[in-house]
C-alpha cells in the first residue's frame, strides 16, 4: 500500500514520480521547489521535462532546489488576464537560481522602484485562490 499523500503523484509503472508539470505543482503543495537533473550531463532545469534540452538524453531525475537566486530580468505588468487583473501592476521576473537553472514568476513584497538586476530573491509558496483548476499552491519570489 502506498501512502495517501504520495499516491497522488503521477508515477511510472515502477513507482517513480514522473517529470511532469502536474507533479511539479504537487511538490509545491509540500512547499518544495523541485527541478530535474539530467542523469547524463548533470544539467538542471526548473520545469520538468522528459528529455534533456542540452544533451538530448532521457533520464531526468527530480532534484530539490534551494529556491535562492538573483534577478536576471523583470517587467511590470499593467494589463493581465482576468484572474490577475485585480493585482496589477505587479512584477514578473526571471531568476537565476543558485543551481544554475532559471525560473520565471511573480515577484511580491518588493517595491517596484527597488527592483534591480542582480537583486537576491527567494521562492515562497501561497495558496491558490483561483476558481479554476488546478487549485494547487503557486510559487512566487520575494526578498530573503
119 neighbors 91 (Cβ within 8 angstroms):
no
Closer to Zn ion by CB, 56 or 66: give it: 56
Closer to Zn ion by CB, 21 or 41: give it: 41
Q: List the grid coordinates of 43.
A: 544539467
CA–CA distance, 127 with 109 (Å, rounded to integer): 16
Q: Is 58 in the site for Zn ion (CB under 5 A)?
A: no
| Nearest approach, Cβ of residue 101 and Zn ion (Å) | 13
| Nearest approach, Cβ of residue 39 and Zn ion (Å) | 8
| Nearest approach, Cβ of residue 82 and Zn ion (Å) | 39
Cell 520538468 locates to 48
Q: Which of residues 37-56 bind Zn ion (CB under 5 A)?
A: 38, 40-41, 43, 52, 54-55
Residue 61 pairs with which residues in a beta bridge? Answer: 37
CA–CA distance, 105 with 39 (Å, rounded to integer): 26
Relative to beta strand 33-38, strand 138-142 is unpaired
Instruction: Give the total of residues touching Zn ion (CB under 5 A).
Output: 7
- State the residues that interact with Zn ion by CB under 5 A: 38, 40-41, 43, 52, 54-55
Amino acid at each position: 500500500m502506498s501512502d495517501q499523500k504520495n499516491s497522488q503523484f503521477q508515477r511510472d509503472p515502477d513507482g517513480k514520480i514522473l517529470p511532469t508539470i502536474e507533479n511539479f505543482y504537487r511538490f509545491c503543495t509540500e512547499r518544495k521547489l523541485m527541478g530535474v537533473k539530467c542523469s547524463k550531463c548533470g544539467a538542471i532545469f526548473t520545469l520538468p521535462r522528459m528529455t534533456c534540452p542540452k544533451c538530448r538524453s532521457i533520464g531526468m531525475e527530480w532534484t530539490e532546489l534551494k529556491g535562492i537566486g538573483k534577478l536576471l530580468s523583470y517587467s511590470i505588468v499593467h494589463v493581465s488576464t482576468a484572474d490577475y487583473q485585480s493585482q496589477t501592476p505587479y512584477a514578473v521576473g526571471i531568476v537565476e537560481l543558485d543551481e544554475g537553472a532559471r525560473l520565471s514568476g511573480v515577484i511580491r513584497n518588493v517595491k517596484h522602484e527597488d527592483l534591480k538586476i542582480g537583486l537576491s530573491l527567494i521562492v515562497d509558496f501561497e495558496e491558490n485562490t483561483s476558481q479554476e483548476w488546478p487549485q494547487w499552491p503557486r510559487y512566487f519570489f520575494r526578498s530573503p
